[in-house]
Structure 1
Amino acid sequence: MISAYGVLPLQDFGLNENESTPETILALVLHAMLTSARISHELAYKSLKRLIEVGYHNLDTLKKSTWEARAEVLTKGGYTRYREKTATALGELADFVENAELENLLERADSSPVQVRKLIGEIKGIGKVGTDVFFDTAQGVWPILASFIDPRTLDTASNCGLGRDLNSLWKVVGKEPVEMCKLASALTTVRLDKKENEFE
């Protein structure tokens, strides 16, 4: 499953997911914000690609953007249903990141996943589902968040015959955070593309 579908969330965008840089973390927040909305994952992917192409994973670039520019980028990505709301949320995200120093989030949270969840949950437009998505993806660069697979994805693991015991899955991937991230990504793809029958 990992071999077939375990693509890291930012792998196609030319970002180094092996390093916990401010740009990588902000890109993962953008990923969580877009993919947790009730739109197709294809549109979320296309919109995220547009945001990264214009450099919105860089705090300075995001801060300097106008609401109109953000709305236009989202429109080009096909993210029309929540365009206005998300354009506003992106502006608020820039203010939040500047004030919260997102790159120092782990230090501020005393390396506690519980505190990280609380702080990420303060970002408007993320919510519980978005926070779960962030944990699925960020554990690859922030090992303190491992092991994590969100509840919906654990259901998929069970449907595919892998069970839903997180500790067992953690052992299967050798207790490697990046591999756990890939497994979460693979299971999410299987769930969204309705490919569970390939693994039954």
Structure 2
Amino acid sequence: MTDDVAAAVLARYGTTFAEEAGIRLADEPVPLFQLLVLAQLLSARIGAGVAVATAAELFSAGWTVPQRLRDAGRGSVIAALGRGGYRRYDERTATQLREMATLVLDRYGGDLRGLATAAGADTDRASHLVQEVKGIGATGAAVFLREVQAVWPWVRPHLDDRARAGARRIGLPDDTAQLAGLVASGDLARFAAGLVRISRLPAGQDPLGG
């Protein structure tokens, strides 16, 4: 029964937020940086759809690597945030995005695989390092780790509080190891994203109803 429910989660909700933003995630500098941008946008109290659309807007403007985002005009970044619908936090976020790009360049030479090396395969350490980016707290770090487990196997399984809340809503175990055992390891990022999407559905809506 639980295997069937997990399969339904993957089938109906198993699109990662990175995929939705147009990120072709791989263990490479460009998509890893794009994921960090997305994590920062998802850190604010704003709808996930707006954050994803805004990330896509930034990437379409060519700001897919830290050098370009760091050197982008602040006004141009604010305008792109506005086009994505990210207006409430646009000025603050424009500053934080450029500061983030500078940090990634200065600390990791523009390559977030350096963060993985610095974390030493310790997910708590990785979360701490991600949160050293101004504007990213525990929520944003959880987003980053949930999604990056698709290409960083040492992060697996990463099913944070939000994902487990989604699991409880549909009667799945509230235990990381048990949940992880319901899907193939390569599907964990999709599964986690699906559970998060379920956790955000309106109260009263049956996530797996007809």
TM-score, normalised on structure 2? Answer: 0.88
SS in structure 1 at match of 2:17: coil
Distance 1:13 1:42, change over 3 A: closer
Structure 1 range deviating more: 54-63 or 44-53: 54-63
The 1-side partners of 2:103 and 2:32 are apart by 13
CA contact (8 A) 1:161 1:199 kept: no
Question: Partner letter of residue 73 of structure 2?
Answer: T
2:114 is aligned, of 76, 101, 104, to: 104
1:183 is aligned, of 184, 191, 199, to: 191
Partner of 1:171: 181
1:36 matches 2:43: yes
Partner of 1:77: 84
The 1-side partners of 2:170 and 2:43 are apart by 23
The 1-side partners of 2:135 and 2:21 are apart by 22
The 2-side partners of 1:58 and 1:11 are apart by 18
How many angstroms does 1:150 deviate by?
Answer: 1.5
How many angstroms does 1:13 deviate by?
Answer: 4.6
1:17-36 deviation line (CA, Å, top 9, x unaligned): 2x211111111111111112
1:149 matches 2:178: no
1:83-116 deviation line (CA, Å, top 9, x unaligned): 0110000110011100121231111222221221
- Structure-to-structure mapping, 1:43-62, within 5 angstroms: 43-62=50-69
Partner of 1:198: 207
The 2-side partners of 1:92 and 1:43 are apart by 22
**Percent of pairs identical after alignment?**
28
Partner of 1:66: 73
The 2-side partners of 1:119 and 1:4 are apart by 33
TM-score, normalised on structure 1? Answer: 0.92
Question: Partner letter of residue 121 of structure 1?
Answer: Q
Structure 1 range deviating more: 55-64 or 137-146: 55-64
Question: Partner letter of residue 160 of structure 1?
Answer: I
Partner of 1:23: 30
SS in structure 2 at match of 1:188: helix
How many angstroms does 1:42 deviate by?
Answer: 1.8
How many angstroms does 1:57 deviate by?
Answer: 2.3
- Over the aligned positions, Cα root-mean-square deviation in angstroms equals 1.6
Give unmatched runs, 5+ long, in structure 1.
none
How many angstroms does 1:122 deviate by?
Answer: 0.2
The 2-side partners of 1:40 and 1:198 are apart by 18
The 1-side partners of 2:154 and 2:34 are apart by 19
The 2-side partners of 1:182 and 1:84 are apart by 32
Structure 1 range deviating more: 57-66 or 120-129: 57-66
Q: How many residues align?
A: 197
SS in structure 2 at match of 1:118: helix
Partner of 1:89: 96
The 2-side partners of 1:159 and 1:33 are apart by 26
Structure 1 range deviating more: 4-13 or 30-39: 4-13
1:4 matches 2:12: yes
